[in-house]
Amino acid sequence: MRIRFISMILSLTFLCTACGFQLRKNADLPAQMAKTQIVMADEYSALGRRVRMLLEQSGVEFVGGNEATAILEIPVNSVVTEVLTIGNNARVREYRISHTVRFRLLDANGQDILSWQNLRQAREISFDEQKILANSREQEYLEDDLADTLSRILVTRLESAPANSG
């Protein structure tokens, strides 16, 4: 029985490595980001919490004011719901949820390390008036998913910043 278990574990290990599976690693961020100040209207939004978590996992310490070696500005973090189609009974049939983020990374002197970046993700959703509760939960799920996707893209963009701003 023990040999079977060990052979199953080894088989799974080989299978996972053969398919290219890799655990997600921490971001390789510029050294200036060691002590970062984050500037955004709502740091406790879904995007703000996820960005903070991802950066902390990569060794970034969040500080305020004069201690900061880098400043991450996120002045735009907006989620917009727009109607796509209306049925013949004058009720919404489909709508789109769009999440837009604009950010940049500055050094302690206010010089650009990474200039303005714009990110936008959108998802379309069908509305069924018979399933109102399910639709509202689906909308919440999609908004969280968009925030998660954009936070990962944002951190990936931060990885592309040059090591020294000059």
In a domain, 165, yes or no: no
Letter string b/e over residues 125-161, b meaning 16 or more CB atoms within 10 A of that residue's CB: bebeeeeeeebeebbeebbeebbebbbeebbeebeeb
Domain range enclosing 108: 2-159
Q: Record the pTM.
A: 0.74
Give the span between the Cα atoms of 67 and 52, in whole angstroms: 17
pLDDT at site 64:
84
Beta bridge partners of 99: 79, 121
**pLDDT at residue 99, rounded to an integer:** 94
User: Which CATH number do you get for residue 94?
Assistant: 3.30.160.150
Q: Over the stretch 1-60, which tens digit does the pLDDT of each residue have?
A: 677 767 677 676 767 665 554 444 566 788 888 999 999 998 889 999 999 999 999 999
State the pLDDT confidence band at 84, using cuts at 50, 70 and 90. confident
Considering the domain boundaries, does residue 152 fall inside one? yes
Residue 48 lies in a domain: yes
Q: Report the number of distinct structural domains present in the chain.
A: 1
| Pairwise CA distance, residues 38 & 19, whole Å | 38
Residue 142 has pLDDT above 60, yes or no: yes
Query: Has residue 85 been placed in a domain?
Result: yes
71 located within any domain: yes
pLDDT at 164: 61
Flag whether 166 is in a domain: no
Quote the pLDDT of residue 132: 58
pLDDT in tens, 102-134: 999 999 888 999 999 999 999 888 766 665 555
Question: Is pLDDT larger for residue 152 or for residue 2?
Answer: 152
